[in-house]
Structure 1
Amino acid sequence: MQVARLRRDLAEARGKVCRAKAGTLDHVSSTWRTIAIDRGDHGVRVDLVLLRHLRDERAVSRNRIQKWIDDGEVLVNGAPPSRAAWRVQAGDELSVRVEHWQPRARPAAQAMDLEVLYEDDDLLAINKPAGLVVHPSYKNAGGTLINGVLERAKAWPVGSRPSLLGRLDKHTSGAVLIAKRPAVHAALQRAMEARLIDKHYVAIVWGRPSPMRGTINLALDRDPWDRRRITVTDRGGQPSVTKYERLAVSSLGPPPLAGALAKADTFSLVRCRLITGRTHQIRVHLSARGWPIVGDAVYGRKRAGGEPAALDELAYAFPRQALHAWRLSLRHPVTNNPIEIVAPLPDDMRQLAAALCLPTVALAKVAP
């Protein structure tokens, strides 16, 4: 209690300094939105709390929230937090400037055939196919995973509200975890922050990762020349760690595959475990080490001149990044029982692995 009281006193003191410098906060209260921090938000980063509470506002993103924090447009108990990683406490008062906001249209429920991997009163896990967008945007107003989940949520108890725990890129397949209530989502966010949720992915890559097992520790940041891309940086950036294991390497098969493979590149089946969860992390990390994911249009290998070997041509023709969110391991946020959610490797990646002569015994290692 003394620590919490001291924290509030310090925040109030900082707030007085801030108001004295700005001289404007007291008379613009009508442009500030106040959020009371409850037990579900206790101990969570301030940027993640805002992202959860403001998800119905147009054009609100984590990057934009972090900019608001840097610009002093977010206050905790009347004072700007020192950084986006500042953790709020139950009873704190969070304020954010809301000038020029427009309400975001709520996603519509749409009937959709979804493959359910796990479901109980608190959680839902869906096996997302490649090509399905996770959340509506100005480019994809409907036909997304969330639209389908909202249709399913009509049968849930009153007060339920689906919220995603992380996202997958459009062309990445695999397990997506969804909380059914805000308190469950907040508990899962805390578990992620504490690295208590294991996320394992499977990828088919160019090359032969060496050593067989290892850790990629490379900071990531937005590409200054193309904000849609992520790049490795040695100037700040977000610390990013991926553990990997090489499960198999393409092997010579019986003729005529042996002749085709002899001139082709090597391909590998790799399992990755996220220690941190940055945008495009696995794709960028593997590419930076010289093992780009097959089919990755952004970070993958580009066609060289000349006629490619037959197996190389198969890899170049694969229509999406060969990356699959395979397994989630966690403690249930309500019962504390262990849960393991496994999304079977999709047919397109199985067929690609077979065509590239990756041993079938390797696929057994990532079987349900």
Structure 2
Amino acid sequence: MSQELNLSAEVTDQQLGFRLDQAVASLFPDYSRTRIKEWILADMVKIDGEVINRPREKVYTGQTVGVQAVLEDEVVFKAQKIKLEIVYEDDDILVINKPAGLVVHPGAGNPDGTVLNALLHHFPQIIEVPRAGIVHRLDKDTTGLMVVAKTVPAQTHLVTSLQAREITREYEAIAMGGFTAGGFVEAPIGRDKVHRVKMAVNSTGGKHALTHYRVSEKYRAHTRLRLRLETGRTHQIRVHMMHIGHVLTGDPVYGGRPRPPKGASEALLATLRGFRRQALHATMLRLAHPITGEIMEWHAPLPADMAELAEALRQDMILHGG
């Protein structure tokens, strides 16, 4: 099924000087940037009655922007009663502490059973918000804090804040090997040219990525880190840590298989063998509320499996006189 779409709106001072794609997104916020760009390139967008197929065309106050397009029915996601640990909620946003094993958004191999499906059950009106209010994601087996928008205005503001790097996201990780000090990794990330399910540092086709890290605890053959993202590329922390030779413990994609220190106890060996996800947790989130502007901050303690891993490594240090 499909339906004809006929939209029209006047450019206001708020959109003065915007590119056409930005202006259309501002005037008709229910539609994604990707879809809007497709419409422009397909000659479906007009300025004052003239077809304009250049997304970067500037717009000016008083111009009329029109869209005549065929809107294909999008996939309809179903609400599912899936438990969410809600850390904070008001009329505009909610913050959740995502567990390991929960996919954020439906996709190939995961048609349902996701955070999105859980959000639709918890707050059915969120269906009116693009992507059910999801503005950033965590990998399936990464735990921790995510903010979700409950309204279109809140989502618009949060996306803008993310792009402007005004949202602070800090992570806890346990990486393999020893660090002498903290630092940062600035290296572009793109799709791995050989293994398409992986990301990799790619100096030719990758996007800018910057990760800061500091050492919070040292073990014999592992290090507990605190990391802060400046950008939000897919698998960013995992790829950057691998790039500097410190794969995250347990990472099934990037080679985090157990590498116990010499003379490790049976207890530590069992813990390392049993830890089968990347040791990565989104522990802190700070942002300006998208509607009130209030600076808000949330913290999520280490999940039980990472806390157990850290304690086992700590006991190994003690056992060997560290």
Normalised by the shorter chain, which TM-score bucket?
Answer: 0.7 to 0.9
State which of 348, 352, 364 in structure 1 corresponds to 2:309.
352
State which of 80, 84, 98 in structure 1 corresponds to 2:54.
80
Task: Report the equivalent of 1:128.
Answer: 98
State which of 203, 225, 240 in structure 2 corresponds to 1:234.
203
CA distance in 2, matches of 1:301, 1:342: 26
Consecutive unaligned residues in structure 1, runs of 5 or more: 1-29, 56-60, 252-265, 361-368
Task: Report the equivalent of 1:318.
Answer: 275
Give the CA deviation at 1:223. Answer: 1.1
State whether residues 172 and 280 of structure 2, in contact with CA within 8 Å, keep that contact through their aligned partners in structure 1: yes
Q: Indicate the larger mover: 283-292 or 111-120.
A: 111-120
State whether residues 121 and 180 of structure 1, in contact with CA within 8 Å, keep that contact through their aligned partners in structure 2: yes
Give the CA deviation at 1:236. Answer: 4.0
Tell me the TM-score normalized by structure 1: 0.69
Consecutive unaligned residues in structure 2, runs of 5 or more: 318-322
CA distance in 2, matches of 1:228, 1:87: 38
CA distance in 2, matches of 1:89, 1:277: 32
Amino acid at match of 1:339: M
State which of 210, 222, 225 in structure 2 corresponds to 1:267.
222
Name segments (4+ residues, structure 1) moved above 3 Å. 30-39, 41-50, 52-55, 71-77, 86-98, 156-162, 301-304, 307-314
State whether residues 95 and 146 of structure 2, in contact with CA within 8 Å, keep that contact through their aligned partners in structure 1: yes
Give the CA deviation at 1:192. Answer: 1.1
Q: Would the alpha carbon gap of residues 242 and 157 (structure 1) be closer, same or farther in structure 2, given more than 3 Å must change?
A: closer
Partner deviation per Cα, 1:37-90 (whole Å, 9 max, x = no partner): 989x9679959959x7456xxxxx96x998x69x944868513235xxx99999
CA distance in 2, matches of 1:240, 1:87: 29
Give the CA deviation at 1:175. Answer: 0.8
Tell me the TM-score normalized by structure 2: 0.78
State which of 143, 161, 183 in structure 1 corresponds to 2:113.
143
Give the CA deviation at 1:301. Answer: 3.3
Partner deviation per Cα, 1:301-360 (whole Å, 9 max, x = no partner): 3468xx995546643431211111111101111111110021221001100111112799
Amino acid at match of 1:198: T
Matched, 1:294 2:249: yes
State whether residues 120 and 126 of structure 2, in contact with CA within 8 Å, keep that contact through their aligned partners in structure 1: no
Give the CA deviation at 1:227. Answer: 2.1
CA distance in 2, matches of 1:312, 1:353: 13
- SS of the residue corresponding to residue 356 of structure 1 reads helix
Partner deviation per Cα, 1:213-250 (whole Å, 9 max, x = no partner): 21110011111222221111222421100011110011
RMSD: 4.0
CA distance in 2, matches of 1:214, 1:157: 40
Q: Would the alpha carbon gap of residues 93 and 292 (structure 1) be closer, same or farther in structure 2, given more than 3 Å must change?
A: farther
Task: Report the equivalent of 1:14.
Answer: none
